[in-house]
Amino acid sequence: MIDIIEYPTADADLYLELLPPETTEQLTGAAEQFRNGSVMHINSTAYGGGVAEILHSLVPLSNAMGIDTQRAVISPRDVRFFDVTKRIHNMLQGAEGELTDDELAIYYGCLDDIAGEIDESGLSADVWFFHDPQLLPLARLLDRKTAGTRLWVVHIDLTAPNPWLMDRLMPLTDAYDLLVCSLDAYAPRKVPGDVGIFVAPPAIDPLAPKNSAMPRHKAADIAKALGIDSSRPLVTQVSRFDVWKDPWGVIDAYRLAKQAHPDLQLALLGLSQANDDPEGEQVLRSVTEHANSDPDIHLFFSPENLPATNDEIVNALQTHSQVLVQKSTREGFGLTVSEGMWKGKPMIGGNVGGIRLQIVDGESGYLVDNARQAGERIAELLADQELCATIGRNARDRVRQRFLIPRLLNDYLQAAERACAVAGQGVS
Ligand code: UDP
């Protein structure tokens, strides 16, 4: 089965007025090129996960820019499809092992059915973006008449993938005209043939409830309703309770900063925790122990009895905190970094992965290698409001320049143009 998701129309002007003039110019130029073309984004889930969130904002914006853009979601007949693709996802990020013949048969079989349905459905577009490994074999299975130009967008980290699986999957990329990945470092190393690679880092939607401007008093009220003393300073990390997000290190950093600022409070916000994630529960237990009943450490993980929606709470704590932290020891991109920076707050980030792309150390935030450095930066910032304001302003500006969703749309249009040239197809 394949479903088309319908969206209400977005107001492009509301986005454009937030952008630097050159981005607006580039985007309107690129959109103009595509006026007569049509674009399809296809992925494997309507809701949940970063890709769904990005498409949820990008597709309406693309239509608002005058490009006929659709979003399709597959729903495979065999429920085991997603068990297999979850294994594929983990293996591409480095998990060991091999898929069984049965698993491969489920993967290819489901996509073969879906390709047949798409070809028969009459759905067609000039340019197709196939998102993530779940859909990788689909381009090879579809008729060229249905999907003329094809791009595979891989949102995951392919720096140390399982070699057995790469040998089996990478040959499938030759059905694509171009590959798109999030960071240079995440590009697949071994692509057969000469399929080009385009880099398009993720971006946030500045108009989404999580990121749109929240009045200070509302943010303070939500913080209060969560049990935080809104008259005392607060430092927050918004993250799942996950080993790589280093919540223990955040607590250590807070303790160090608290020596200089005794009234400091800490919030660790992990509401997006999957209830059925046993690893997350273990991390939470260990972090709770590490917090040692400190009344100024607030751990949020239960989605029940909350005073506001998840998105409002994320927004409120980012808006209300004096300093934000994302002390990851490994991070694909780290949307929370751009989300926090967009609120005009100084962000202290682990010196790893995609965080390094977002924060320019000492200018639009700080990069740290350990909890001691993080603690020192928190203390320094809390003592200097002017420094907080300057770093926060630079942070917001950096996100405005580089990490808002219209820039990603522009990247996708540039990639589409390049792919059309490879496919020998024109759309303007
Ligand atoms: N998030 C949320 N509520 C929470 C914690 C996190 O909505 O309590 C969101 C956060 O705002 C961000 C996403 O989950 O949009 C996490 O994305 P990120 O790239 O930072 O990390 P990931 O969880 O994908 O490793």
Nearest atom in ligand 1 to 202's CA = 19
The pLDDT, as a whole number, for residue 147 is 85
In this structure, the residue with its CA closest to atom 14 of ligand 1 is 272
For residue 101, the surrounding DSSP H or E stretch is helix 101-121
Sorting pLDDT into bands at 50, 70 and 90, what band is 338? very high
Q: How far apart are CA 151 and CA 161, in angstroms?
A: 21
Sorting pLDDT into bands at 50, 70 and 90, what band is 274? low
Q: How far is the CA of 232 from the centre of ligand 1 (A)?
A: 25
For 103-150, the pLDDT digits (tens) are 999 999 999 999 999 999 989 899 999 999 999 999 999 988 888 899
For 192-239, the pLDDT digits (tens) are 777 999 999 999 999 999 999 999 999 999 999 999 999 999 999 999
Strands 68-74 and 347-350: unpaired
Nearest atom in ligand 1 to 333's CA = 19
Average predicted confidence (pLDDT) for the chain: 94
Q: How far is the CA of 237 from the centre of ligand 1 (A)?
A: 10
Query: What per-residue string of b and e applies to 2-28 under the rule 16 or more CB within 10 Å gives b?
Result: eeebebeebebeebbebbeeebbebbb
In this structure, the residue with its CA closest to atom 1 of ligand 1 is 272
- Using alpha carbons, select from 175, 208, 206 the residue that is nearest to residue 191: 175
The pLDDT, as a whole number, for residue 114 is 96
Mutate to test the pocket of ligand 1, among 132, 155, 271, 272 (most ligand atoms within 8 A of CB): 272
Q: How far apart are CA 250 and CA 268, in angstroms?
A: 9
For 350-365, the pLDDT digits (tens) are 999 899 999 999 999 9
Q: How far is the CA of 177 from the centre of ligand 1 (A)?
A: 32
**DSSP string for residues in 160-208:** S--HHHHHHHGGGGGG-SEEEESSGGGS-S--STT-EEEE----B-TTS
Q: How far is the CA of 141 from the centre of ligand 1 (A)?
A: 34
Q: Are 40 and 139 in contact (CB under 8 A)?
A: no
- Distance of alpha carbon 303 from the chain centroid: 21
The pLDDT, as a whole number, for residue 109 is 97
Q: How far apart are CA 188 and CA 181, in angstroms?
A: 9
Q: Provide the sign of the torsion angle of the four alpha carbons 395, 396, 397, 403, taken in this order.
A: positive
Sorting pLDDT into bands at 50, 70 and 90, what band is 275? low
Length of the chain: 428
The pLDDT, as a whole number, for residue 427 is 67
In this structure, the residue with its CA closest to atom 23 of ligand 1 is 240
The pLDDT, as a whole number, for residue 226 is 98
The pLDDT, as a whole number, for residue 198 is 97
Which residues are within 8 A (CB) of 349 and not within 5 positions of it... i.e. 6 or more apart?
A: 325, 326, 327, 328, 331, 334, 337, 355, 356, 358, 359, 365, 366, 367, 368
The pLDDT, as a whole number, for residue 159 is 86
pLDDT beyond 60 at 428:
no
Interaxial angle between packed helices 21-33 and 405-423, expressed in degrees from 0 to 180 and rounded to the nearest 10 = 40
- Lining ligand 1 with CB less than 6 A are 50, 210, 238-240, 269-272, 310, 314, 333-336, 339
Strands 68-74 and 38-43: parallel
Which residues are within 8 A (CB) of 10 and not within 5 positions of it... i.e. 6 or more apart?
A: 57, 60, 61, 63, 64
Mutate to test the pocket of ligand 1, among 47, 57, 238 (most ligand atoms within 8 A of CB): 238
Nearest atom in ligand 1 to 354's CA = 19
The pLDDT, as a whole number, for residue 269 is 97
Q: Provide the sign of the torsion angle of the four alpha carbons 270, 271, 272, 273, taken in this order.
A: positive
Q: How far apart are CA 34 and CA 57, in angstroms?
A: 19
Token pair for residue 363? 């200018």
The pLDDT, as a whole number, for residue 191 is 80
Q: How far apart are CA 411 and CA 389, in angstroms?
A: 31
Query: DSSP 3-state assignment of 281?
Result: helix
Alpha-carbon distance values, 3 to 11, 114, 239 (Å): 24, 11, 31
Q: How far apart are CA 251 and CA 238, in angstroms?
A: 13
In this structure, the residue with its CA closest to atom 6 of ligand 1 is 239
Strands 68-74 and 2-5: antiparallel
Alpha-carbon distance values, 163 to 30, 96, 170 (Å): 38, 9, 10
Q: How far is the CA of 16 from the centre of ligand 1 (A)?
A: 25
Q: How far apart are CA 286 and CA 243, in angstroms?
A: 10
